[in-house]
Structure 1
Amino acid sequence: MDVKKQWSESEARRVEAHVKRTRERLRDLADRYIALEGHIPAGGRRGGGDVPAFHAPAGPRAPLRVEVVDVRDEVALYVRDFLPRVRLSMRLKGITRGAGDVRPGLLFMARMLPFVYARSAALGDEISRGAWDLERRAAWAAGEVPRPFALTDPCGGCGLHSLWVVPERMVIRCGNPACGRQESVSGVSVTVASQPGRLTLRV
């Protein structure tokens, strides 16, 4: 049995599954960014980017929900910071400064994420951490409670199809009481020890 080949194939499947989950988070975050606008009470003229400007009606103004504004601002900052890095990583020609519209930027990053991981797992992990954290916070700002959900992937510890994502804790846990394996939802970087046959997984 070629242990090294078997391990490499297992890691490739693990990274592929992680990238698929994170792409879903980026797409969800793109939708939530737009939806969160409706959770900000009218308080004057706003707009720009993805959201058309509008004027609030005359009369008393409701206060803004600061936590919603903060999350939207952080999503925009996330895109502004990472979109140019994704473009540079992929050696794409064109503008590499500025994010443009937030939602298209997030969707572009979702499309490019498999290729980013192929070139730089470290950058892929940075993008993943931000995507998972911001999507969770956007859900909270919208009044939703992120709930655990099952995965179809087998557990790397016991081999059973018993994995659950726990968004509140940002972890993937095995539901098998005899196993209890746990890892971060937001990164898959791997460190290989120098000794032959010894592998150390860092998540």
Structure 2
Amino acid sequence: MNLKQRILRTFYPHIMRLTKSDRSKGRILLNESLAVPAACFYDLSAVLNNGTARRFREFRGKKVLLVNTASNCGYTGQYQELQRLHEEYGDRLAIIGFPANDFRDQERGIDRDIAVFCELNYGVTFPLAAKSCVLKGEGQNDVYKWLSSPELNGWNSQEPDWNFSKYLINEQGILTHYFGPAISPLSEDLLKEIRD
């Protein structure tokens, strides 16, 4: 962990308090009508940072939380919270982190370095995808194309506002929520949806 990462880790609780009221970073979007996706979530897959493919059909019957991540962000402390979710709810919730360098060059590392950083500093054991682009445009990761295209997911056009934006998919493969980066993975808003 470099000096910047140590400082960010120390100040993470303060960053969360300060940004909680930011309308964009603290937003929650809800699929109120439970719109069914036009393209099946379970047809998607992700290449993990070790080069293996994870097919989403493995997640049938579980909720899935997809999070774009970065190692040099004020929200990087959420890795630890995501790991707690993974440990507590792993029987009913799958989590996949999607490292991306889309916001102010906050994920410069290569896949191997990112994995080592996450494991050593935050004890991460949930899967991390290979580093990719999560924002709309040429080269956008196919999973994030599905998450941010209403013609595919049925309702949502919101791409990540920043690192650690969270998308929740229910047990039937329906995208139910978008949680902005200032929403903690351990917030009551998110925990309620996981428990229901």
Q: TM-score, normalised by structure 1?
A: 0.25
Question: What's the TM-score once normalised by structure 2's chain length?
Answer: 0.26
Which has the higher Rg, Structure 1 or Structure 2?
Answer: 1
